[in-house]
């Protein structure tokens, strides 16, 4: 059975979602998320209410509405890479510091899931905790763990 790739990315917005300081980011959510859903290899995305311009920002963490999570599943590493590094997503990623705080701890994790599995936010946060505690392992890893992650190595942004 060919396993899929799940990823969780956590961030804390510099301001509430209706604040002008994050307006450009919030205004682009539907565009970027819609593009992701149409990419070859996209499987699933954790969704919010579906209200325009909110993405899944309603899935806040620890009761803090500025702490938001993005959770997706992809057919393979190459599919996720094409979206992250080969589309307009990269332009927004490069500007992340304009809208998000710099977190002092690890905030990104990937892991393999069986076809048809849709990870919960709790499951994804548990994977992030594994990576924080143990570093990259088969159960929780980052881009550097993936030998096949060629676009990441060639096109990634400045040091994370």
Question: Considering only CA atoms, which of 149, 6, 145 is closest in space to residue 75?
Answer: 6
* Domain range for 129: 4-155
Is pLDDT at 158 greater than 50 in this prediction?
no
Question: 57-106 pLDDT, tens per residue?
Answer: 556 677 788 888 899 999 999 999 999 988 989 888 889 999 999 887 88
Question: Considering only CA atoms, which of 64, 134, 65 is closest in space to residue 106?
Answer: 134
The pLDDT value given to residue 39: 96
Residue 110 lies in a domain: yes
Beta carbons of 43 and 4 less than 8 angstroms apart = yes
Question: Considering only CA atoms, which of 63, 61, 45, 36 is closest in space to residue 7?
Answer: 45
Question: 31-52 pLDDT, tens per residue?
Answer: 998 999 999 999 999 986 455 5
Beta strand extents in the chain (DSSP E only):
4-12, 42-45, 60-61, 64-74, 108-113
Q: How many domains does the chain have?
A: 1
Beta carbons of 35 and 62 less than 8 angstroms apart = no
The pLDDT value given to residue 112: 98
Residue 25 lies in a domain: yes
Position 135 confidence tier, pLDDT thresholds 50, 70, 90: very high
Beta carbons of 74 and 44 less than 8 angstroms apart = no
pTM: predicted TM-score of the whole model, two decimal places: 0.87
Question: 5-41 pLDDT, tens per residue?
Answer: 999 999 999 999 899 999 999 899 889 989 999 999 9
The pLDDT value given to residue 145: 92
Beta carbons of 27 and 96 less than 8 angstroms apart = no
Question: The domain that contains 39 carries what CATH number?
Answer: 3.30.70.100
The pLDDT value given to residue 103: 82
Question: Considering only CA atoms, which of 89, 81, 69 is closest in space to residue 25?
Answer: 89
Residue 52 lies in a domain: yes
Is pLDDT at 138 greater than 90 in this prediction?
yes
Residue 160 lies in a domain: no
């Amino acid at each position: 059975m060919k396993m899929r790739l799940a990823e969780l990315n956590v961030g804390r917005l510099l301001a509430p979602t209706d604040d002008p300081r994050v307006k450009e980011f919030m205004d682009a959510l539907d565009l970027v998320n819609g593009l992701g859903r149409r990419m070859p290899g996209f499987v699933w995305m954790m969704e919010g209410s579906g209200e325009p311009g909110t993405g899944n920002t309603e899935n806040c963490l620890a009761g803090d509405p500025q702490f938001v999570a993005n959770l997706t599943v992809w057919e393979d590493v190459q599919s996720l890479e094409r979206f992250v590094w080969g589309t307009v997503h990269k332009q927004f990623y490069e500007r992340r510091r304009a809208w998000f705080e710099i977190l002092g701890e690890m905030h990104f994790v990937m892991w393999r899931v069986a076809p048809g599995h849709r990870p919960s936010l709790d499951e994804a946060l548990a994977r992030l905790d594994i990576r924080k505690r143990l570093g990259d392992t088969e159960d929780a890893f980052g881009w550097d763990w993936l030998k096949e992650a060629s676009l990441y190595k060639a096109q990634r942004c400045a040091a994370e």
